[in-house]
């Protein structure tokens, strides 16, 4: 079926049902991830308001769960829901996995291989934290013989780990220093800039019944460092960071336009996915030519909008991945808009306040975006996600207005490589170098502890470096360090030590 002047193609994919679940209980019996998934899926199936009921789902996909490793997550969920999908899929780790699953489903729907699909994510990390702190075990069922393998090398270079790039907020703060220097902005003003944006995000969370922290914060509260709002890495206080210890689940039910007609889904329940794209940067930070931006984020954004036949000015809502301030900054740069655009950056409340359930936040963003768009006769929105060290990016365009033409041209699921140019990383280095990016990590008392850096070497290769020198840390935390000439010396454990 092809689109007419008045109707979309029968193969056009549309969200027809969404469901979200929130539980503050720490009782393992109430919050097993499988049960949270099933609740979210049941809500999504009911949310379609199908006059004939959604009794068959062709495809069922489960986002990687950090709380508990099941032996066969999607198959166990299918049994729990009494569904017989022809295809089941369990995703890998990563913040854009919900979108990669969605985009693959959209490809299959547009290509006529699938009619109805269900995607779900969910975590019980709050429960797990409470139980393990008490020295107990959650005792959930159907465990995997061994947890899914986590190949750290897929996300972090050995030298990144050795020099202290983990925890991952240090990587994001490091990229932010490169952006700040490239824009020649004052470090103190730059540190304060996101606070009003985060305050606005918290106001959205306060109105979201599924938010983990539904409490509005002022910009001053977000900036004020305290025992409850410490500074793990400068200049990011905890209230600007993703909060993963939540019990949350979300599900998204997607159907072709023709299948929605067959199921009797009311027109006002349908939100069309009319643009989708994803792209890769190099996985290791120092390999990327420009540390101050993400070419993959820019390319994925441009392609998704182009395929959706929409411009940034046509969008009414955004939900941008908000794990740390640099993620928001890079995303608004990719869109060519300001961070303080009056349309805002979230319809959920963002990852520090709505919650950051492992790899599943974007499932909630897609559900919240669907609900926001349903409130208007004509409205469009963009959802973005990213994985690892801002290495993989995904962008989805949703609209109450269906796209025109062949839906196979609305997007492509396979992430596109952005650049073949790869800067060489040298393991060991000594002598003069140029400081290109850095992050100053703090201890629990808020005192400077360690700086991790990316340095440019005379032969144009790069290396990672670190320093614990108090005088150097003071300089880097109170003034702009990017662009300074530094001296590198060999240190313990194969590290490159940075001196000024």
- Selection from 159, 168, 157 nearest residue 495 by Cα: 159
Q: Residue 115: its pLDDT value, please?
A: 97
Q: Answer whether residue 45 shows pLDDT above 60.
A: yes
pLDDT in tens, 321-358: 999 999 999 999 999 999 999 999 999 999 999 999 99
Token digits of residue 243: 């909060």
Quote the number of domains for the chain: 2
Domain assignment present for 239: no
Domain assignment present for 254: yes
Q: Residue 62: its pLDDT value, please?
A: 98
Share of the chain above pLDDT 70, in %: 98
pLDDT in tens, 53-71: 888 899 999 999 999 999 9
Supply the CATH number for residue 355's domain: 3.40.47.10
- Are 101 and 248 in the same domain? yes
Q: Answer whether residue 3 shows pLDDT above 80.
A: no
Q: Answer whether residue 24 shows pLDDT above 90.
A: yes
Contact between 12 and 407 under an 8 Å Cβ cutoff? The reply is yes
The confidence band for 136, taking pLDDT boundaries of 50, 70 and 90, is very high
Contact between 411 and 277 under an 8 Å Cβ cutoff? The reply is yes
- Are 119 and 258 in the same domain? yes
- Are 366 and 468 in the same domain? no
Domain assignment present for 167: no
Token digits of residue 427: 């393991």
- Are 389 and 466 in the same domain? no
The confidence band for 5, taking pLDDT boundaries of 50, 70 and 90, is very low
Domain assignment present for 122: yes
- Are 465 and 389 in the same domain? no
CA distance 136 to 309: 53
**What is the pLDDT averaged over residues 255-275?**
97
Contact between 232 and 442 under an 8 Å Cβ cutoff? The reply is yes
CA distance 11 to 108: 9
Compute the chain's Rg from CA coordinates.
23
- Are 322 and 458 in the same domain? no
Token digits of residue 127: 């429960």
- Are 288 and 380 in the same domain? yes
Q: Residue 146: its pLDDT value, please?
A: 84
**What is the pLDDT averaged over residues 452-472?**
98
HSE-up of residue 400 (Cα within 13 Å, Cβ side): 17
- Are 412 and 278 in the same domain? yes
**What is the pLDDT averaged over residues 414-418?**
80
Chain length of the chain: 500
For strand 116-124 and strand 59-62, is the pairing parallel, antiparallel, or unpaired? parallel
The confidence band for 6, taking pLDDT boundaries of 50, 70 and 90, is low
Higher pLDDT, 234 or 56: 234
281: left (phi over 0), alpha (psi -120 to 50) or beta: beta
Helix or strand run (H / E) with residue 59:
strand 59-62
The answer to pTM > 0.85 is: yes
Q: Answer whether residue 426 shows pLDDT above 90.
A: yes
Domain that holds residue 302: 13-136+244-417
pLDDT in tens, 360-391: 999 999 999 999 999 988 999 999 999 999 99
């Amino acid at each position: 079926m092809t689109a007419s002047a008045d109707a979309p193609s029968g193969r056009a994919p549309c969200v027809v049902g969404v469901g979200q679940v929130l539980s503050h209980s720490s009782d393992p019996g109430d919050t097993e991830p499988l049960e949270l998934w099933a609740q979210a899926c049941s809500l999504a199936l009911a949310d379609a308001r199908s006059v004939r009921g959604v009794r068959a789902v062709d495809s069922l996909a489960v986002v990687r769960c950090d709380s508990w490793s099941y032996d066969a997550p999607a198959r166990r969920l299918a049994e729990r829901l009494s569904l017989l999908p022809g295809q089941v899929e369990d995703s890998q780790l990563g913040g854009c996995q919900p979108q990669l699953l969605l985009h693959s489903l959209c490809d299959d729907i547009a290509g006529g291989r699938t009619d109805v699909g269900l995607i779900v994510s969910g975590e019980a990390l709050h429960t797990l934290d409470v139980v393990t702190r008490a020295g107990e075990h959650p005792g959930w069922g159907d465990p995997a013989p061994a947890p899914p393998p986590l190949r750290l090398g897929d996300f972090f270079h050995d030298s990144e780990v050795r020099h202290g790039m983990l925890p991952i907020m240090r990587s994001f703060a490091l990229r932010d220093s490169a952006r700040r220097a490239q824009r020649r902005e004052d470090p103190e003003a730059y540190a304060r800039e996101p606070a009003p944006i985060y305050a606005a995000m918290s106001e959205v969370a306060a109105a979201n019944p599924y938010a983990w922290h539904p409490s509005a914060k002022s910009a001053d509260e977000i900036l004020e460092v305290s025992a409850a709002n410490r500074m793990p890495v400068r200049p990011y206080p905890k209230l600007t960071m993703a909060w993963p210890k939540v019990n949350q689940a979300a599900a998204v039910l997607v159907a072709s336009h023709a299948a929605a007609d067959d199921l009797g889904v009311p027109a006002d329940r349908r939100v069309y996915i009319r643009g989708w794209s994803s792209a890769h940067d190099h996985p290791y930070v120092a390999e990327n030519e420009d540390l101050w931006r993400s070419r993959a984020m820019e390319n994925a954004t441009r392609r998704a909008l182009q395929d959706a036949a929409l411009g940034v000015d046509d969008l009414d809502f955004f939900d941008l991945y908000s794990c740390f301030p640099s993620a928001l900054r890079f995303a608004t740069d990719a869109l060519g808009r300001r961070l303080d655009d009056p349309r805002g950056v979230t319809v959920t409340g963002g990852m520090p306040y709505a919650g950051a359930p492992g790899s599943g936040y974007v499932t909630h963003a897609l559900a919240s975006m669907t609900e926001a768009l349903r409130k208007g006769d004509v409205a469009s929105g963009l959802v973005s996600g990213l994985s690892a060290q801002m290495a993989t990016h995904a962008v989805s365009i949703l609209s109450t207005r269906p796209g025109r033409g062949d839906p196979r041209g609305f997007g492509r699921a396979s992430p596109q490589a952005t650049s073949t140019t790869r800067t060489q990383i040298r393991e060991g280095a000594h002598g003069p170098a140029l400081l290109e990016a850095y992050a100053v990590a703090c201890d629990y008392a808020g005192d400077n502890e360690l700086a991790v850096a990316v340095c440019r070497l005379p032969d144009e290769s790069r290396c990672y470096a670190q320093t614990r020198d108090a005088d150097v840390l003071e300089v880097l935390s109170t003034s702009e360090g990017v662009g300074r000439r530094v001296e590198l010396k060999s240190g313990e454990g194969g590290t490159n030590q940075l001196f000024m």
